[in-house]
């Protein structure tokens, strides 16, 4: 019989190794963020020193003031919030309805239509940028909130994701509602939709995070600085030849604030949502 002491020892060794690995990973993940905070307080010279210095010499808010004055931050915040809000609302609305239909209704051409949804999911979104821009421009809607929201009106991923959720709900529940006198629409919104809470929360988080970080589309469609989002607005701080990194970092930090606050509030749902979708 192996002694319990040696068993205990080997278990402790493996625990220590696990922790070392996790701490190492955490440091790597956190490093860019910490570096960003440090840089946002440095002067331009300090930020470009070779070898690099770690800590800024003073904690002056100069870079933050510069960022706020050189960009219309109120507009950027507002535009971003509206874009995220509408994209989330539409993603939930349309993905839920389409997901329910694909999962629980029988109609002609269902499989072909769902195949198209899957196909769209497997294509890189960049290839849609030009046609989408042409559509928005033809509508005369460039430089509007609508333009920012447009590609997020429907989400192939959302449709697929909610279809899976609805597939997991026993058909008998819908049938019971039907027997209880619900029509198809009432069955959907009184009985089925309320059962998808966790998935809808996950979709909300995903859509919000993605919309928040989306750079390419806002940059393409809204060229007026006042109609830009935080991400595209910040991108304008990058010069063609040189970049004022401390100001960019200060601006980015300001742009991250709402997301950080939201994350702190919805931490649990965030983690569950990511675990639930099997993403990342």
Residue in 51, 170, 239, 278 binding other proteins, rule: CB under 8 A: 170
What is the 8-class DSSP label of residue 155? -
Q: How far apart are CA 269 and CA 201, in angstroms?
A: 7
* Shorter beta-carbon distance to other proteins: residue 82 or 191: 191
Q: Which stretch binds other proteins (CB under 8 A): 72-80, 115-123, 130-138, 190-198?
A: 190-198
The Cα–Cα gap between 245 and 255 comes to 15
Burial grade of 8 (CB within 10 A; 0-12, 13-18, 19 or more)? exposed
Measured from the CB of residue 27, what is the shortest distance to other proteins in angstroms?
42
Cα angle at 238 between 235 and 241, to 5 degrees? 150
Q: Does 172 bind other proteins (CB under 8 A)?
A: yes
Check binding of 167 to other proteins (CB under 8 A): no
182 binds other proteins (CB under 8 A): yes
Q: What torsion do the CA atoms of 97, 98, 104, 107 make, to the nearest 10 degrees? A: 120
Query: Between residues 56 and 174, which has the closer beta carbon with respect to other proteins?
Result: 174
Region of 14 (left: φ > 0; alpha: ψ -120 to 50; beta: rest) is alpha
| Residue 176 binding other proteins, by CB under 8 A | yes
Q: Tokens for 247? A: 């100001």
Coil vs helix vs strand at 238 = strand
Q: Which stretch binds other proteins (CB under 8 A): 25-33, 45-53, 169-177, 248-256?
A: 169-177
Does residue 112 touch other proteins according to CB under 8 A? Answer: no
Please tell me the count of residues contacting other proteins according to CB under 8 A.
15
Cα–Cα distance, 118 to 159 (Å, whole number): 9
CB of 189 to other proteins, least distance (A): 12
Q: Of these, 81, 195, 256, 262, which contacts other proteins (CB under 8 A)? A: 195
Shortest separation between residue 178's beta carbon and other proteins, angstroms? 6
Q: Locate 98 and state its tokens.
A: 């389409």
Sign of dihedral through CA atoms 268, 273, 276, 280? negative
Least distance CB 110 / other proteins (angstroms)? 12
Q: Between vectors from CA 223 to CA 94 and to CA 66, what angle results, nearest 5°?
A: 110
Q: Which of 43, 186, 252, 277 binds other proteins (CB under 8 A)?
A: 186
For position 191 contacting other proteins by CB under 8 A, the verdict is yes
Rounded distance between C-alpha atoms, residue 208 and residue 155, angstroms: 12
Minimum gap (Å) between residue 96 Cβ and other proteins: 15
Confirm or reject binding of residue 178 to other proteins (CB under 8 A). Answer: yes
Among 138, 179, 185, 240, binds other proteins (CB under 8 A): 179
Contacts with other proteins by CB under 8 A lie at: 170, 172-173, 175-182, 186, 191, 194-195
């Amino acid at each position: 019989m192996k002694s319990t002491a040696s068993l205990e020892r080997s278990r402790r060794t493996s625990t220590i190794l696990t922790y070392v690995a996790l701490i190492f990973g955490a440091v790597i993940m956190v490093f860019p963020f910490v570096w960003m905070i440090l840089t946002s307080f440095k002067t331009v010279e300090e930020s470009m020193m070779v070898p690099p210095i770690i800590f800024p010499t003073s904690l002056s808010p100069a870079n933050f003031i510069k960022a706020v004055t050189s960009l219309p931050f109120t507009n950027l915040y507002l535009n971003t919030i509206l874009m995220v809000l509408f994209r989330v609302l539409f993603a939930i609305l349309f993905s839920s309805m389409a997901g329910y239909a694909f999962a629980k209704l029988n109609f002609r051409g269902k499989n072909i239509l769902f195949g198209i949804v899957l196909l769209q999911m497997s294509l890189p979104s960049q290839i849609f940028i030009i046609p989408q821009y042409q559509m928005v421009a033809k509508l005369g809607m460039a430089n509007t909130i609508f333009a920012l929201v447009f590609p997020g009106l429907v989400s192939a991923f959302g449709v697929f994701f909610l279809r899976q959720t609805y597939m997991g709900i026993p058909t008998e529940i819908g049938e019971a509602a039907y027997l209880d006198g619900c029509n198809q629409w009432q069955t959907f919104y009184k009985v089925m939709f309320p059962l998808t809470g966790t998935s809808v929360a996950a979709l909300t988080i995903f859509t919000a995070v993605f919309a928040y970080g989306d750079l390419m589309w806002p940059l393409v469609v809204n060229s007026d600085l006042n109609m830009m989002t935080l991400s595209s607005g910040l991108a304008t701080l990058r010069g063609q030849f040189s970049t004022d990194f401390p100001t960019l970092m200060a601006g980015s930090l300001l742009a991250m604030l709402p997301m950080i606050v939201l994350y702190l509030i919805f931490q649990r749902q965030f983690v569950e949502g990511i675990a639930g979708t099997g993403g990342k």
